Structure 1
Amino acid sequence: MRTELISAPGALAHPNEDYASVGIPASGEGGSLVVLDGVTPPATDAGCLHSVPWFTARLGGALHELSVSRRESSLTEVLRQAIQRTADAHRDTCDLSHPRTPQATVVLARWSADDVEYLVLSDSALLVESAAGTVTALLDDRLSRIPRAALATHATTDATVRNKEGGFFTAAADPSVAARAVTGTLPRAGVRALTALTDGATRWAEKFREGDWTDLATLVRKEGAQALIDRVRALELADTERVFLGRSKTHDDATVVYVEL
């Protein structure tokens, strides 16, 4: 088995809000991967004493442990328990009802000798390469389907579409959101590799249009995860007219986890 994990901050002066891990049980049978992209709040009070990295470290750590130790639980149940555990760690000191309480996107995958299970919540991505080389993108595309007007300001987003019916969902403080995730199970024999990415890394395909999902997965497999991030950073620096970046931040935290089964 080959694994790679790369996570690069968008700015050296700002802490990386992503989280990533690969878990392999001591038995050596199966494993799991976790990728989170913490949601950066606006520069206003979000009702919480804790930072986004604090939140992603705890949610990610819980997902890492539960996905390996509780193999009898579905990934939906693993996410539900991880959100509950993380919320319990700060509900006595923080306003968890605030729409900008710390939160994150989630990619979670777990494999055994027979199956590969997956869960995707919000706009991070999981690419599955088949034994024949076909690449399938497993996505939660609800955010991309929301009209731009609903995302025009933080206040509008929070009031109308963030963690609301008809909008999009992230892992914050409500365990029931786990049921909103995109989930499924694939035969292990049909899966050659998994590539999990935050949107700081998927920019190569989604924002800069350098290739499709198959091209991206092939780049990571052949040249490595660092090569993808290096290319993203070069494209960001070259877009001085912001033709592709638009209103987006120049650099975003970028995380790639690659597992060759």
Structure 2
Amino acid sequence: MASTQGVGAANEDTVHVSPTGVVVLDGLSAPKDLPMGCIHGTPWFVRQLGTCLINLIGDNTVMLREALRTAISEVNDLHRDTCALDQEAVPASTVVMIRERENVLDYLVLSDNVLVLDLGEEGVQAIADKRVEEVAGEEMRAALQGPTGTPEHAARVSALVAVQRRLRNQPGGYWVAATNPVAADEAITGTVVLAQVQQAALLTDGASRLVDTFGILTWAQLLDVLRIEGPAALIARTREAELADPAGERWPRFKRSDDATAAYARTDQPVPVSSEFPRRKPRLADEGGS
């Protein structure tokens, strides 16, 4: 696993691992135009939520939606006496997690984190909850107009966030883990036979960009990079692509770079080396440099 900070003031992603489970969270940045209902902030929230989740899913009798529902309630209890949890601006997070249970693999995805599963002969499947992209279409198209880093672009992104915030955790909108445990009921969940699973990747949207934003890799090639080079190398490749297009002219996006977290897991199943493994193009710095 690897996690690096993007352009924000702090890394609001987190990853938690146990012998049978993996949890990856992507915290949502607090709005600057509203008073924050929590004095602790988003990084604190995702750490607490992740810790609760990894502990809860260690019990095989607890289903993943139930674990998320309980974790949200437990984190609420940690700061309800110090924070105004009924405010609009409270910490929130996307969620992706897997859990080995006997001979199956359970998974849960809430909002736009991505779970990539290599199911052998059945191929590679990417699972994500894209409802956030289906709301505020006009504002989203405007926010993707570059160049990034300008006051005009920042204003368009702020307008999008304001609209999305009104639709967050509402019927007909999209759902994230915040203070309402009901959000857990909206998560995408499933179970696959463990013997089918060769490898898996859990990604925040900052680490999935090479596929779903930039189109440089396929999901299968992304798994190749994780298996052969590792999660830190995947994020490094992402940063190289972002630096090559800092204004978002080739690849329109809301931020030049985002917090990026990738967790990679393999079973004992043999994984063939792909003939399409995406080799790096040599750089001058690689030739005799330190």
- The reply on whether 1:71 has 2:50 as its aligned counterpart is no
Moved segments of 4+, more than 4 Å:
none
Give me the TM-score of the superposition, normalised by structure 2. 0.81
Offset at residue 212 of structure 1 (A) = 2.1
Q: 5 Å matches for 1:109-124?
A: 109-124=98-113
Q: 5 Å matches for 1:20-99?
A: 20-24=15-19, 31-44=20-33, 45-68=35-58, 70-99=59-88
Structure whose CA Rg is larger: 2
Specify whether residues 247 and 32 from structure 1 end up closer, same or farther in structure 2 by C-alpha distance, changes over 3 A only: closer
Secondary structure in structure 2 of the residue aligned to 1:155: helix
Match of 2:194 among 178, 188, 199: 188
Specify whether residues 198 and 247 from structure 1 end up closer, same or farther in structure 2 by C-alpha distance, changes over 3 A only: closer
Q: Could you tell me how far apart the structure 1 residues matched to 2:247 and 2:75 are?
A: 41
Secondary structure in structure 2 of the residue aligned to 1:201: coil
Offset at residue 133 of structure 1 (A) = 7.3
Match of 2:6 among 5, 10, 18: 10
Report the equivalent of 1:158: 165
Give the root-mean-square deviation of aligned CA atoms.
1.6
- Contact 1:84–1:175 (Cα < 8 Å) also in 2: yes
Offset at residue 113 of structure 1 (A) = 3.5
Offset at residue 97 of structure 1 (A) = 2.1
Q: Could you tell me how far apart the structure 2 residues matched to 1:225 and 1:56 are?
A: 20
- Contact 2:200–2:266 (Cα < 8 Å) also in 1: yes
Specify whether residues 196 and 136 from structure 1 end up closer, same or farther in structure 2 by C-alpha distance, changes over 3 A only: same
Report the equivalent of 1:140: 129
Aligned length: 248
Secondary structure in structure 2 of the residue aligned to 1:236: helix
- Contact 1:131–1:189 (Cα < 8 Å) also in 2: no
- Contact 1:122–1:143 (Cα < 8 Å) also in 2: yes
* Long gaps (5+) in structure 2: 141-158, 268-290
Match of 1:177 among 183, 204, 217: 183
- The reply on whether 1:215 has 2:205 as its aligned counterpart is no
Secondary structure in structure 2 of the residue aligned to 1:71: coil
Q: Could you tell me how far apart the structure 1 residues matched to 2:199 and 2:88 are?
A: 36
Secondary structure in structure 1 of the residue aligned to 2:243: helix
Secondary structure in structure 1 of the residue aligned to 2:57: helix
Secondary structure in structure 2 of the residue aligned to 1:34: strand
Secondary structure in structure 2 of the residue aligned to 1:199: coil
Offset at residue 137 of structure 1 (A) = 0.6
Matched to 1:178, the amino acid is A
- Contact 1:119–1:181 (Cα < 8 Å) also in 2: yes
- The reply on whether 1:230 has 2:236 as its aligned counterpart is yes
Report the equivalent of 1:27: none
Q: Could you tell me how far apart the structure 2 residues matched to 1:247 and 1:7 are?
A: 20
Higher strand share: 1
More displaced 10-residue stretch of structure 1: 207-216 or 73-82 = 207-216
C-alpha distance after superposition, 1:14-37 (max 9, x if no partner): 22110101101xxxxxx0000000
Matched to 2:54, the amino acid is H
Q: Could you tell me how far apart the structure 1 residues matched to 2:122 and 2:229 are?
A: 16
Secondary structure in structure 2 of the residue aligned to 1:36: strand
Q: Could you tell me how far apart the structure 1 residues matched to 2:247 and 2:235 are?
A: 21
Give me the TM-score of the superposition, normalised by structure 1. 0.90
State the identity %. 38
Q: Could you tell me how far apart the structure 1 residues matched to 2:71 and 2:79 are?
A: 13
